[in-house]
């Protein structure tokens, strides 16, 4: 996936790093720290005096919003703006010690939908910024269709989503727009509600913001709200996504940024992580997602498009309860890469017996390859069969193969011979059989 | 442009991807194209000038260039760019080619070009009316005309999937991997495809479904279209609009894959980077329903797609497509060890650069040795003023008496009883930087000075710094007042017959300066020959780069070797005739200065 969400702390750090380039007429104190627990905060406070000197705000930094409504923003002890370092420390320790439930949508203040429960592991701590409501603004930018969009509002804060049409001014930019054209468009579209005396200043900030969004390869960038006091800016809340395909040319600009998994998402299994690792080191493509490890249908499909049609067909014909995984291998993997991929998959599918005692189904599918040598990749699968033959028999694995492309006759012949020699159930088909028809055949038995 | 490619389409292939290029050429040979579909290869880091490929059982050479600009300048008719650069450089390559101009379409294979760059590249191409296929694609094919790289797979699969000749389907897919599969399904259930494009899997691709379908609507070979879409994006809705408004009238069969995505939250990425639904409208199901609602033929599932194709195709009741003749690529081919590009003895009569020997051997053909040299050395028939000049040079340098070191060596060897060839090569081996080398050097240095617009004074300064006397300047006894008549002859001929003599004109201004310092520092015969050769090549239209290569490869020296061989043979035969005894140099002519060896 090209667009990846980053932490609020990283988003602020990236803007702070390039602040003078994009916002030369404004100042930003960049007083923000990210910690995983209270003692880390105490340790950092030795270097950063403001943590002991100022009233603080603390909140989790884990890619989810609505933190206020979830009661996860600490800004008051007995009254707003009185949070001390000690209080922040104890609050972070408290919130990070037990799993927390988080709702992602609200109707007014009432949560809707299901909550997700997970541990809170990352927090940002910042100074409490006293300010008037009129000093809060909203700004964001993203790409819609072929255009970049800039959204601006004189009203910041979490309420902006309610009443979007009335409050938010939208401006569209073609990718080929010049800096002059961009500046002119922004100046012509400053929200009417921005005070007349602040319009020029706001435009100045918005132009810098949009330039930063473009040049730093953000896919999404939102500050809601930012506070403008004279030429002093505070970034109270930020959401950002980066286009990670630009990573190779943004190493310096982005610094050390990580792409956390979203809150409540299951931790990736070691097998999935191992495949990801192998994928990153290979010129070929290896992808694996575990959907339901106890399910009985496993797919090992070559090619991105084919892997989708196999998943579609299994969902159509068997339902998704039977589908254990989604994944693909493509782009001419080597024999040993294919063996590793097959090993991982067959190992996973032979761990939990089917609850109803049914046979397990392994779909080794694929379209007609453009350039991948089928016999070569199948050699890797055969080697994996040799390792796992006993376990495959134990779990009554029935294998269905369908593939075409360079050297496919040899590949199909080899895998059939190997399965027969090892006493494994196998059915083998070539391009004369419709690509997904083996799913129907496997389910018909 | 109703058709993306024709049987005359030629491409510039960026990156020397020999396997993919060979697949294209195998296809070309199979469908009996007149010219290979790849006209040039851009290989920025290669030092080679060409790459050998098989064309059927034979081998051909495809020229290599270091830059797209050079490739395009040399092959202006090639209007397709196949950009096989990596995701790091694909953008720069595309933008440069758009800047150069003259391309009607570009295909970009890299996956994961930064989105902002991909968008800028696609928008620029659209402004310039250039069709972009990709990024992240396996390409496109116009069966029977032109095939990009690996699309269609092996030649066996191509024939099996009827991709060797135009059928009647226009095929557009997002997935490159399923493209072959669709071609196969269409071959089994209908009569093959007329044009097929895999638009690419990245979120931002150049030409989208609608661009390709609108073109196919105009293509008379296309009778119906198949669209294979994917979950994510809203491109299919543009097609729906075009069907509704009547812009597209030909039947369309369509399916969006990724119907499974609705069962899972956005954490599971099915398929390509572009395949992620933002909102209900972008789900595969919504798109399939919306397409069906406007009368597009949508099957119940991907598994039922073949039946739908068969149904729509049968109802069209099209005449059968005749099977064209094909050539068969041999399965075993051997690469040739040697290449010859100047003469060919395989026919009835041996030819020199295409000219039968009989057409230039005898006097009535009007051809002389200068013509033979121009054909065998330069693969071109030079005009008469140039071949006459070559002959003048050969005659001028044929001999310079017995005392020069080369002739002397030949004579000494002949007197030692050696054969003509042994004696001759002894003389020839003397030719080098000091003997005969002034022709090379004069051409090189004077051209350098002229190219860099050095004034004569600056040139002299430059040579002083280099620490070498100017080659081609100076004579033992001759001066401006007592000129070398050979030089006068050459100059007179050039003045009368050369279209222009820019380098000689420059050299003469240098001579004015050198002779003002010392009388005998005149432009000598070696210098005049070297300089006039450059003028000849300039007048014949060679680029400065080509001329520099002639000089660097020793072509000028070759004229001296050729001419002086005549003289050396004369001296050797002279010795044989005179039956002179073995030569021993008189000891009185040698200074002996040998010290007694030290003991260790």
The single residue listed with the structure tokens 């690469």 is B335
* CATH code at position B20: 3.40.50.261
The predicted-structure confidence for B324-355, as pLDDT tens digits, reads as follows 999 998 888 888 888 899 999 998 999 999 99
Give the helix/strand (H/E) hosting A414.
Answer: helix A408-422
The predicted-structure confidence for A14-58, as pLDDT tens digits, reads as follows 999 999 999 999 999 999 999 999 999 999 999 999 999 999 999
DSSP A145: T
On whether both B299 and B355 belong to a single domain, the answer is no
B308 neighbors B299 (Cβ within 8 angstroms):
yes
On whether both B290 and B194 belong to a single domain, the answer is yes
On whether both B373 and B435 belong to a single domain, the answer is no
So what's the pLDDT on residue B437? 77
Is B505 domain-assigned?
yes
Q: With an 8 Å Cβ cutoff, are A1 and B301 in contact? A: no
The predicted-structure confidence for B528-582, as pLDDT tens digits, reads as follows 999 999 999 999 999 998 999 999 999 998 999 999 999 999 999 999 999 999 9
B22 neighbors B158 (Cβ within 8 angstroms):
no
On whether both B454 and B361 belong to a single domain, the answer is no
So what's the pLDDT on residue B273? 55
On whether both B452 and B527 belong to a single domain, the answer is yes
3-state SS, residue B568: helix
A158 neighbors A109 (Cβ within 8 angstroms):
no
pLDDT-derived band at A12 (thresholds 50, 70, 90) equals: very high
Locate all alpha helices (DSSP H) within A189-303, ordered by sequence: 199-215, 251-254, 270-281
Residue A370: pLDDT over 90:
no
**DSSP H helix total and E strand total for chain B:** 22, 16
C-alpha count within 13 angstroms, C-beta hemisphere, residue B322: 2
In angstroms, rounded to a whole number, what is the distance separating the alpha carbons of residues B33 and B56?
11
> For the stretch A281-299, what's the b/e string if a residue is b when 16 or more beta carbons lie within 10 angstroms of its beta carbon?
ebebbbbbbbbeeebbbbb
> Which of B88, B175, B184 is nearest residue A305 as measured by Cβ atoms?
B175
The predicted-structure confidence for A238-275, as pLDDT tens digits, reads as follows 999 999 999 999 999 999 998 888 887 777 889 999 99
Contacts of B519 (CB under 8 A, 6+ apart): B479, B480, B481
Q: With an 8 Å Cβ cutoff, are B177 and A330 in contact? A: yes
Domain housing B488 = 405-425+430-578
Structure tokens at A142: 């993203």
Residues of chain B with pLDDT below 70 are: 1, 265-269, 271-278
Is B193 domain-assigned?
yes
Is B58 domain-assigned?
yes
On whether both B143 and B56 belong to a single domain, the answer is yes
* Cβ neighbour number for residue A157 with a 10 Å cutoff: 15
Please give the domain boundaries of chain A with CATH numbers for all domains. Answer: 270-444 (3.40.50.261)
So what's the pLDDT on residue B125? 97
Structure tokens at B84: 């096989």
Q: Of how many residues is chain B composed? A: 600
Q: What is the mean pLDDT of residues A203-222?
A: 97
On whether both B117 and B218 belong to a single domain, the answer is yes
Smallest CA–CA separation between B315 and chain A, in Å? 22
In chain B, the number of structural domains is 3
Structure tokens at B371: 């013509």
Residue A325 contacts B where some CB pair is shorter than 8 Å: no
Q: With an 8 Å Cβ cutoff, are B185 and A434 in contact? A: yes
On whether both B26 and B156 belong to a single domain, the answer is yes
Q: What is the reported pTM?
A: 0.82
On whether both B375 and B254 belong to a single domain, the answer is no
pLDDT-derived band at A153 (thresholds 50, 70, 90) equals: very high
Is B598 domain-assigned?
no
Residue A430 contacts B where some CB pair is shorter than 8 Å: no
Q: With an 8 Å Cβ cutoff, are A431 and B157 in contact? A: yes
Question: What radius of gyration, in Å, describes the C-alpha atoms of chain A?
Answer: 27
So what's the pLDDT on residue B278? 67
Smallest CA–CA separation between B155 and chain A, in Å? 9
Q: What is the mean pLDDT of residues A377-388?
A: 96
In angstroms, rounded to a whole number, what is the distance separating the alpha carbons of residues B199 and B141?
12
Contacts of A4 (CB under 8 A, 6+ apart): A219, A241, A242, A244, A259
On whether both B72 and B214 belong to a single domain, the answer is yes
The single residue listed with the structure tokens 């997700």 is A116
Smallest CA–CA separation between B181 and chain A, in Å? 6
> Which of B176, B230, B270 is nearest residue A370 as measured by Cβ atoms?
B176
So what's the pLDDT on residue B153? 86
Is B398 domain-assigned?
no
A304-317 helix and A437-444 helix, angle to the nearest 10 degrees: 30
For chain A, the helix, strand and coil percentages under 3-state DSSP, each to the nearest 5: 40, 25, 35
So what's the pLDDT on residue B52? 94
A361 neighbors A349 (Cβ within 8 angstroms):
no
The candidate with the shortest Cα–Cα distance to A289, out of B536, B442, B268, is B268
């Amino acid at each position: 996936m090209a667009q990846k969400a980053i932490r609020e702390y990283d988003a602020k750090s990236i803007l702070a790093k390039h602040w003078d380039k994009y916002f030369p007429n404004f100042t930003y104190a960049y007083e923000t720290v990210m910690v995983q627990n209270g003692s880390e905060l105490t340790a950092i406070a030795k270097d950063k005096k403001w943590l002991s000197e100022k009233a603080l705000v603390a909140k989790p930094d884990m890619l989810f919003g609505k933190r206020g409504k979830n009661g996860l923003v600490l800004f008051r002890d007995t009254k707003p703006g009185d949070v001390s370092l000690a209080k922040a420390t104890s609050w972070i320790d408290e919130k990070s010690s037990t799993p927390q439930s988080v709702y992602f949508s609200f109707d007014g203040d009432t949560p809707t939908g299901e909550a997700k429960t997970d541990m809170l592991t990352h927090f940002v701590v910042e100074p409490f910024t006293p300010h008037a409501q009129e000093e809060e603004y909203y700004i964001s930018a993203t790409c819609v269709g072929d255009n970049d969009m800039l959204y601006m509002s004189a009203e910041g804060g979490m309420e902006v989503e309610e009443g979007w049409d009335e409050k938010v001014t939208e401006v569209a930019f073609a990718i080929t727009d010049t800096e002059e054209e961009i500046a002119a468009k922004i100046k012509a579209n400053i929200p009417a509600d921005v005070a007349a005396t602040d319009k020029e200043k706001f435009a100045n900030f918005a132009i810098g913001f949009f330039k930063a969004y473009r040049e730093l390869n953000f896919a999404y960038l939102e500050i809601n709200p930012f506070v403008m006091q004279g030429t002093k800016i505070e970034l109270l809340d930020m959401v950002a996504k980066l286009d990670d395909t630009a990573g190779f040319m943004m190493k310096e600009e982005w610094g050390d940024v990580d792409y956390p998994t979203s809150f409540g998402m299951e931790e990736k299994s070691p097998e999935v992580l191992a495949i990801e690792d192998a994928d990153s080191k290979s010129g070929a493509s290896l992808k694996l997602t575990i959907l339901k490890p106890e399910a009985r249908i496993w797919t090992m499909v070559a090619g991105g498009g084919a892997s989708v049609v196999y998943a579609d067909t299994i969902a159509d014909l068997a339902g998704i309860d039977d589908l254990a995984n989604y994944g693909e291998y493509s782009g001419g993997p080597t024999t040993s890469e294919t063996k590793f991929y097959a090993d991982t998959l067959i190992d996973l599918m032979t761990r939990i017996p089917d609850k109803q005692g049914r046979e397990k189904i392994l779909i080794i599918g694929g379209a007609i390859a453009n350039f991948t040598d089928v016999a070569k990749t199948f050699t890797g699968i055969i080697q994996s069969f040799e390792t796992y033959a006993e376990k495959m028999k134990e779990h009554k694995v029935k294998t269905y193969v369908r593939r075409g492309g360079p050297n496919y006759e040899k590949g199909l012949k080899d895998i059939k011979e190997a399965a027969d020699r090892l006493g494994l159930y196998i059915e083998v088909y070539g391009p004369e059989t419709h690509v997904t028809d083996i799913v129907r055949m496997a389910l018909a038995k | 442009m109703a058709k993306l490619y024709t049987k005359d389409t030629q491409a510039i292939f960026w990156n020397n991807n020999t396997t993919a290029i060979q697949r294209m050429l195998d296809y070309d040979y199979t469908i009996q194209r007149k010219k290979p579909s790849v006209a040039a290869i851009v290989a920025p880091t290669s030092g080679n000038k060409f790459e050998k490929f098989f064309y059927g059982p034979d081998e051909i050479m495809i020229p290599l260039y270091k830059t797209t600009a050079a490739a395009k300048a040399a092959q202006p008719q090639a209007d397709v760019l196949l950009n096989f650069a990596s995701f790091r450089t694909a953008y720069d390559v595309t933008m440069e080619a758009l800047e150069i101009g003259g391309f009607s379409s570009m295909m970009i294979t890299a996956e994961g070009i930064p989105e902002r760059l991909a968008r800028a590249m696609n928008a620029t191409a659209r402004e310039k009316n250039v069709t972009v296929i990709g990024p992240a694609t396996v390409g496109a094919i116009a069966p029977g005309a032109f095939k990009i790289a690996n699309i269609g797979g092996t030649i066996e699969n191509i024939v099996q999937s009827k991709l060797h000749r135009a059928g009647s389907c226009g095929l557009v897919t997002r997935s490159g991997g399923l493209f072959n599969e669709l071609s196969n399904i269409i071959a089994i259930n209908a009569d093959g495809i007329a044009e097929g494009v895999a638009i690419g899997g990245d979120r931002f691709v150049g030409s989208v479904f609608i661009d390709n379908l609108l073109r196919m609507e105009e293509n008379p070979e296309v009778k119906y279209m198949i669209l294979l879409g994917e979950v994510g994006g809203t491109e299919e809705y543009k097609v729906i609009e075009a069907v509704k408004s009547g812009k597209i009238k030909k039947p369309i069969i369509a399916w969006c894959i990724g119907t499974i995505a609705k069962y899972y939250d956005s954490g599971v990425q099915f398929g390509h980077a572009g395949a992620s639904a933002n909102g209900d409208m972008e789900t595969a199901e919504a798109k399939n329903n919306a397409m069906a609602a406007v009368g597009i033929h949508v099957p119940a599932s991907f598994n039922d797609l073949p039946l739908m194709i068969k149904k729509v195709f049968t109802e069209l009741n099209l005449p059968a497509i005749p099977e064209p003749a094909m050539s068969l690529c041999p399965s075993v081919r051997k690469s040739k060890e040697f290449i010859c590009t100047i003469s060919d003895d395989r026919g009835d009569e041996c030819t020199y650069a295409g000219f039968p020997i009989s057409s230039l051997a005898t006097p009535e053909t009007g051809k002389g040795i200068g013509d033979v040299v121009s054909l065998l050395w330069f693969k071109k028939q030079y005009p008469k003023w140039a071949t006459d000049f070559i002959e003048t040079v050969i005659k001028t340098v044929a001999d310079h008496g017995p005392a020069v070191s080369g002739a002397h060596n030949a004579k000494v060897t002949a007197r030692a009883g050696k054969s003509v060839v042994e004696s001759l090569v002894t003389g020839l081996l003397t030719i080098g930087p000091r003997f005969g080398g002034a022709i090379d050097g004069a051409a090189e240095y004077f051209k350098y000075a002229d190219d860099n617009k050095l004034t004569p004074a600056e040139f002299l300064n430059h040579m002083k710094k280099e620490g070498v006397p100017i080659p081609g300047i100076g004579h033992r006894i001759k001066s401006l007042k007592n000129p070398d008549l050979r030089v006068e002859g050459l100059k007179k001929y050039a003045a009368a017959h050369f279209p222009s003599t820019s380098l000689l004109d420059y050299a003469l201004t240098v001579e004015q300066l050198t002779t003002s310092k010392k009388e005998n520092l005149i432009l000598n015969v070696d210098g005049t020959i070297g300089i006039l050769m450059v003028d000849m090549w300039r007048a014949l239209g060679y680029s400065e780069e080509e001329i520099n290569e002639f000089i660097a490869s020793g072509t000028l020296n070759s004229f001296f070797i050729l001419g002086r061989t005549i003289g050396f043979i004369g001296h050797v035969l002279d010795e044989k005739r005179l039956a002179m005894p073995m030569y021993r140099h008189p000891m009185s002519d040698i200074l002996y200065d040998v010290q007694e060896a030290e003991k260790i």
